[in-house]
Amino acid sequence: MYCPKQFFAQILIVVASLAILSACGAESEDEDIDDGVVTVAIVDNDFEPEELTVEVGTTVRWVNEGMMMHTVTSGPDATEDGLFDSGDMRNGDTFEYTFDEAGEFPYFCRPHPMTMRAMVIVE
Ligand SMILES: [Cu+2]
């Protein structure tokens, strides 16, 4: 027998399930690798991961997840070499750089040069 109330309840369940599924889908966009872009997290006070190996042509995206201000500044031994510099990054800010040549690319954070040093290795 056709029961409109039951039919309506089933529609509600389907709609609710779709809403839950799409919410999960949105969360999973924050993966480490997304469209060939590799993400490095900046926290207080560290780069995660500190050493990252990527292929030539990869874009690395740094995301400041910390509450303090940080920078992504290229150079060995916390000495700027001028290849890249994010400028001041506050919580939620991002910076991207595409590595078009193989090599080792050390970088650091200008406000925290003693503790925040990391490296991108491009192969
Ligand atoms: Cu810092």
33-43 tens-digit pLDDT: 556 799 999 99
Q: What is the chain's percent helix, strand, coil content, to nearest 5?
A: 25, 35, 40
Please state, in angstroms and as integers, the Cα–Cα distance from residue 115 to each residue in 32, 44, 77, following that order.
23, 10, 11
pLDDT value of residue 28: 41
Q: Are residues 6 and 43 in the same domain?
A: no
Tracing tokens 């109330």 back to the chain, one arrives at 5
Q: Please give the tally of structural domains in the chain.
A: 2
Domain that holds residue 85: 31-122
Which residue is it, tokens 């999960």? Answer: 24
pLDDT at 36: 78
Q: Is 15 in the same domain as 42?
A: no
pLDDT at position 31: 44
d(CA 61, CA 41): 8
Q: Which of 64, 65, 53 is nearest to 118 (CA)?
A: 53
User: 69 alpha carbon to ligand 1 midpoint, in Å?
Assistant: 6
Q: What residues in the chain have per-residue pLDDT under 50? A: 24-31
Residue 19 C-alpha to ligand 1 middle, in angstroms?
A: 38
CA 21–ligand 1 middle distance (angstroms): 37
pTM above threshold 0.85: no
Half-sphere exposure of 101 (CA within 13 A, CB side): 4
Give the three-state DSSP class for 88: coil
Judgement on whether residues 95 and 73 belong to the same structural domain of the protein:
yes
